[in-house]
Every structure is written in C-alpha cells, then in structure tokens.
A and B are shown apart, each in its own frame.
Chain A
Amino acid sequence: MADNKEAITFELTKEQSEALRALAGSRKVRLSGQIKGGKLEVDSICFAEEGAKFPGYDAFTAVNAPFKTKALV
C-alpha cells in the first residue's frame, strides 16, 4: 500500500495507459439490471480480473447533497 501521507495523484501510470489502449479497441461491455424499490441494481458485471476484490456498490460515486439525514444546526 502506498504511504497515505502522500497526496493523491490523477494521472495514469504508463502500464495503465497501455492497458486501456489495448482494451479500447476490443471491449465488449454489457450491463444489465433492474430498478427495485427505486434503487438501481446492476446484475451482470463481468470483471476482467478473476477473483479481484472490487469495492462496494457505492464506491467512487458522486455525493452532492447532505449525506446525513438529520442536520443538527
């Protein structure tokens, strides 16, 4: 794990850029799912890397409104 005292960076590494370039011409992305109780459920995520651990459903998603249901002040 990287030292978390270091600041976040935004650029891709050389390896990541190359991987994306390789994928760009041959990808076959397919998503399916449904809306249940007003919530999105995506049910066919075919991750390329078998056995890889992916974060939860809400990871790296936008939040733009108060995130606590009861503001105090």
Chain B
Amino acid sequence: MSVIPELTHNALGEEHAVSLPHYFDALRLACEKYPPPFGMRFYGDEYRRIAVDPDWFAFSLMTNSAREGDGASRLWDLAASTQDRFAASQITQHAIDESRHSRLYLTMLGVVFPGAVDETFISEVQGLSPKLTRMSPLIANMTSPFAHPITIDDLIQMNIAEIRTLVHHMLQRPVIMAFCDNDRKAHLVKLLDSLLFDEIKHITYTAELIEKSAASDKGTKSLVNQLMADRLRDFNELTEQELGDRVFETT
C-alpha cells in the first residue's frame, strides 16, 4: 500500500481529514491501482543521491522558481474563467501564493548560495513570475489552454500535483538546511515554513472541493474515483518521464 494517502492524511490533520471521506476513498483507491513513484523509497533515494551536489541543488531551486511562476499563470487563467465565486476566490489566492513562491525559491537560492547567480540573470528569472496580487486584474489570457471554468478534472490534477510538491518539500528540507550557513538558518526556516503552510493549504482546499463534488451523488462519486485513478496514472507517467531513463518497478 502506498504511503501517499497516509502522508496526505497526516499533512491535513486528523480533524480535517475525517471531513473528507469521499476524497480519501478516491485517493486510496487510485494509489492502490497506480502506486505513485513519489511515494516509493527509490524516489527519495534518487533525490538525495543528486541533491547532495550543490550545483544541482542550486539549479533545482531555480527551476522550481520557474515552474511556480508558470503554475501561477495557469491558475490565474482558470480563476478568471470560473463563474463560481467561492471556487474562483480560492484559485485566485492559490495563483497569488504560487507567484510568491516563484520569488521565494530565488530568495532561498540567495540565502543558501549567496553570489551563485549574477543579478542580471536573477532579474530575468524573476521576470518569469507574473507577480500576482489581489489588486491584479483578474483577466484570463484567452490564448491559454487554461482559460476555461475549472472542472473536477482540473481540481484532481491540482490536488495530485500538490501532494507530489509536498513530498518534494519534505525531501528538500533536510538537504537545504544542511547546505545553509548556521547564521542564516533561522531566516531559511521561516521561508520553508511559509512554503509548507501554503502547500498543505492548497491540498486542503482542492480536497474540499473534490469532496463536495463527490458527495453530491453516487454518479459523481464514481466519476471522481475514476478520474483520480486516471490522473494519478498520468502523473506517475509524467514523473517517470521527468526522471529520464530511470526505471521504476511499481509492482
């Protein structure tokens, strides 16, 4: 049995997790059918094997920054296209959080590896972040494939992706702390805690929206179960592709 449902349950906390029975049913069934590589020992071992290289680790902080900025733009287009005001408000906040995370990864890069990147290049990378705030005009880029009202499929994809991002955070934390000079660790912990808080918040709100949908009727619950499994399978494939030629034995 994959550790991912238990890890997610623990991250959300018992009090919160008990209010999400349909969501956790779907997640458990999906993980049973398609065990995610990011819940396996090999995944963590592989991360640590390469993350102890400071050059790769610094590179990873920068690519994370770029990916968070891209995710923020996708979420902004979804939020701007979603009529349901409650859902749209939560997705908007999610996009703002990711926009901030994009800059936060670069801040961590500067804290842990001062002088590793020249200011011109840092400025260029910062330009990849949409720098979203509540004051930003909530308008979708109509050429974006994400300029559509959010669907249960989108929410399930976001939820699965956020769980893997939480796993990455948990892998990253001991390594970045070890790389950091002692006199900067207190600052770094604040940055990491802020990231962790937001990742759990994002898993929680998407799980709540999935739960609400699954609880509405039996047909939708069945659809949620099916989509959770299908999208976990897709994300597992994507995870394996990202790791290049590494072979995962999932049985």
- A and B together in one complex: yes
What is A's interface to B at a CB cutoff of 8 Å? 1-13, 16-17, 19-21, 23-24, 27, 29-35, 38-40, 42, 45-49, 52-73
CB < 8 Å neighbour of B167 from A8, A42, A47, A59? A8
Is there a chain A Cβ closer than 8 Å to B83's Cβ? no
Decide yes or no: A58 and B58 within 8 Å by CB, A19-B52, A31-B117 being known contacts.
Answer: no
What 0/1 pattern do residues 107 to 150 of B give for CB contact below 8 A with A?
00000010011100100110110000000000000000110100
Binding site for A on B (CB under 8 A): 2-3, 35, 37-48, 50-56, 58-60, 62-64, 66-68, 70-72, 74-75, 78, 94, 98, 101, 113, 116-118, 121, 124-125, 127-128, 145-146, 148, 151-154, 157-158, 161-162, 164-165, 167-168, 170-171, 173-175, 178-181, 202, 223, 227, 231, 234-235, 238, 241-250
Q: List 25 A-B contacts (CB under 8 A).
A: A2-B45, A5-B40, A7-B3, A9-B44, A13-B48, A29-B58, A29-B113, A30-B117, A31-B62, A31-B116, A45-B59, A60-B47, A60-B171, A61-B64, A62-B64, A62-B68, A62-B71, A63-B67, A63-B71, A64-B94, A64-B161, A65-B74, A65-B158, A67-B161, A68-B234
Contacts of A21 in B (CB 8 A): 178
B165 touches A64 (CB 8 A): yes
A12 and B178 contacting across the interface, CB-CB below 8 Å: yes
A24 contacts across to B, CB distance below 8 A: 178-181
When distances are taken between beta carbons in the complex, the residues of chain A under 8 Å from B223 are 73
Q: Which residues of B contact A6 (CB under 8 A)?
A: 40-41
Are B121 and A12 interface neighbours, CB within 8 A?
A: no
Which label, helix, strand, loop or mixed, suits the secondary structure of the B interface? helix
Q: How far is the CA of A10 from the CA of B241 in the complex (A)?
A: 22
Chain A, residue nearest B94 (CB): A64
Q: Is the CB of A66 within 8 A of B178?
A: no
Q: Kindly provide the distance from the CB of B181 to the nearest chain A CB, expressed in whole angstroms.
A: 7
Kindly provide the distance from the CB of B5 to the nearest chain A CB, expressed in whole angstroms. 11
Most chain B CB atoms below 10 A, which of A16, A31, A58: A31
With contacts A4-B250, A12-B178, A56-B244 taken as known, whether A65 is within 8 angstroms of B75 at the C-beta atoms is: yes
The 5 tightest CB contacts between A and B, nearest first, are A65-B74, A7-B3, A63-B161, A71-B153, A6-B41
Known: A7-B2, A8-B167, A9-B41. 11 other contacts (CB 8 A): A27-B113, A33-B121, A45-B56, A47-B56, A55-B246, A59-B242, A61-B60, A61-B64, A62-B101, A65-B157, A69-B145
CB within 8 A of B238: which of A13, A34, A67, A71? A67
Do residues B158 and A66 form an inter-chain contact, with CB atoms below 8 A? yes
